[in-house]
Amino acid sequence: MRQTITIRLPEQVINELDSIVAQEHTSRSLVVSEALRRYFANREYPAPKGPDDC
């Protein structure tokens, strides 16, 4: 099940996020989801298997 969350980020982080989104022709949601999956993997927490598992 997908859920919406709200987070607050510093302007510099938003600018960098938007730059990546523009370069990769993707969405903020996909970039943040991928970043969280990688974070969980590095922390040895079980990460969702794919975009439908978020």
Q: Where are the domains of the chain?
A: 11-53
| In the predicted structure, residue 53 carries a pLDDT above the cut 80 | no
Token pair 């794919």: residue: 50
Compute the radius of gyration of the chain from its Cα atoms: 12
> How many H helices and E strands in the chain?
2, 0
Cα torsion 2, 52, 34, 23 to 10°: value is: -100
Measured CA to CA in angstroms, residue 3 lies from 9, 11, 33, 45, 53 at distances of 19, 24, 12, 20, 10
pLDDT of 7: 95
| pLDDT tens digits, one per residue of 5-52 | 999 999 999 999 999 999 999 999 999 999 999 998 888 756 566 666
